[in-house]
Amino acid sequence: MTKPSLPTLNSVVTCQSDYDPESLKVDQALQIVQDFVASSAKALETETVGIYQSLGRILAQNIISPINVPAADNSAMDGYAFAGSSISSDGSTSLTMIGKGFAGHAFNGDVKAGECVRIMTGAIMPNGCDTVIPQELVEINNDQIQFTSTAVKAGDNRRLKGEDLSVGSPALLAGKVIRPADLGLIASLGMGEVAVKRRLRVGFFSTGDELRSIGQELEPGCVYDSNRYTLFGMLTRLGVEINDFGVVRDNPEDMRRAFSDAAAQCDAVITSGGVSVGEADYTKQIMRELGDIAFWKINMRPGRPMAFGSIQSSGHQAVLFGLPGNPVAVMVTFYQFVRHALLAMSGATDLAPQTMQARATETIRKRPGRTEFQRGILKTDRSGINTVSITGAQGSGVLRSMSEANCFIVLEHDQGTIQAGDLVNVVLFEGLL
Ligand code: AMP
Ligand code: MG
């Protein structure tokens, strides 16, 4: 298996003028992560999958339309097709009906001036016709139809050949994450298989002597490991291949083995815990030993301590994200740094999350000098105004704040306290499609 070959972290970091690993701004950290990943971006292999399996995958090649969609001009309405030049300049137009055309059963004759054809939606426009009058605007008398001349203009209610996709033009571009509309688009071209990037392999594990797994007894001072489950959820939603390396105890042998195994098998490795300041565990030591890692204190809340870089094992390199241990900090740092990096490594092009502005319903206390990611509930009131409130206790261990929220409220680095009614930036958790 080939691995992306990474530049040294130092070569990326030194591009930053005011780099201080003890006090890094969110934007700086994000830039380093993005630059490091971009400069290492070795394209993942391509694989061909059936159309159903391509949902959520990343398109590996442009799809060039082999046909026109639609293949011919056709009717957009149930009504009567005729030549627009037959519309009378008097108030009323009368036409003689000479036949019928249905979707899949075209009318094959020629239509002359003063004539029309009964036509259904999707039926090919007969020869000589460029206009359709909807049936509800027409009075019928045997084979004669009549309508008000101003009810329709030449060319109305007709879909043009190739107006959706024209032959030879790109229908979908490489790097797009395939969504339901794209499945339909691909099917409309008659294609049953799609070339996609292979899934990025992402390994993850939790670190900590206090962690217990589901089914184990919870002794005093212990907590159930929840981070592996949120990571499972976030990574699954991202569409990567996941590899769960379990809980790793705070001892050097277990750590070394876990990091080596994960780096040997995966393109990226995510850990949680053990990167806090002054922590008496081995995580940092082992990360340093095996890789090219920077440890950061980022001016953000939650999510201050984080490790980032690459680790080597069995001749392979994997990008490493050493996330904090606190459950909310794991999710915030994932969405702030990891998501973008994994999508970029996967070959995706559209990486920005959906952001919008909303009015705060209450005062939100905030100190300038750090970026805060508060958990919010966004609502749209009856007049279409978006408001956002915070979800109670915002401690970095309070996972309920994430569960109840539907967005992050992002309070920028220099921002002070927000007053009720102020506009704030929010990042939505869910997209529609
Ligand atoms: P650490 O960064 O290892 O010092 O952990 C910070 C806090 O997060 C501590 O309270 C840990 O018990 C907690 N924590 C660390 N890992 C996990 C985990 N996998 N699940 C739940 N809590 C965790
Ligand atoms: Mg720990």
Among protein residues, the one whose CA lies closest to atom 5 of ligand 1: 325
Among protein residues, the one whose CA lies closest to atom 10 of ligand 1: 326
At 15-48, the pLDDT tens digits run 777 888 888 999 999 999 999 998 875 789 999 9
Among protein residues, the one whose CA lies closest to atom 16 of ligand 1: 325
Which helix (H) or strand (E) covers residue 371, if one does? strand 371-380
What pLDDT was estimated at residue 359?
Answer: 97
In residues, how long is the chain?
433
What pLDDT was estimated at residue 3?
Answer: 41
What pLDDT was estimated at residue 41?
Answer: 58
Query: Three-class SS of residue 58?
Result: strand
* pLDDT under 50: residue ranges of the chain: 1-5
Rg of the chain over all Cα atoms, to the nearest angstrom? 30
What pLDDT was estimated at residue 4?
Answer: 43
Atom of ligand 1 nearest to the CA of 275: 2
Largest CA distance in the chain: 93
What residues line ligand 1, using a CB cutoff of 6 Å? 206, 208, 210-211, 223, 225-227, 272-274, 276, 279, 324-327
What pLDDT was estimated at residue 22?
Answer: 87
What is the value of pTM for the model shown?
0.90
Atom of ligand 1 nearest to the CA of 276: 2
Question: What torsion, rounded to 10 degrees, do the Cα atoms 284, 286, 292, 298 define?
Answer: -10
Domains and CATH numbers, the chain: 10-45+198-346 (3.40.980.10), 50-68+171-197 (3.90.105.10), 74-159 (2.170.190.11), 355-428 (2.40.340.10)
State in Å: Cα 72 to ligand 2 middle.
65
State in Å: Cα 274 to ligand 1 middle.
8
Q: Which of 223, 270, 321, 400 for a ligand 1 pocket mutation test, highest count of atoms within 8 Å of Cβ?
A: 223
At 295-340, the pLDDT tens digits run 999 999 998 899 999 999 988 899 999 999 999 999 999 999 999 9
In sequence order, the 6+-apart residues with CB closer than 8 A to the CB of 290 are 256, 259, 260, 263, 311, 312, 313
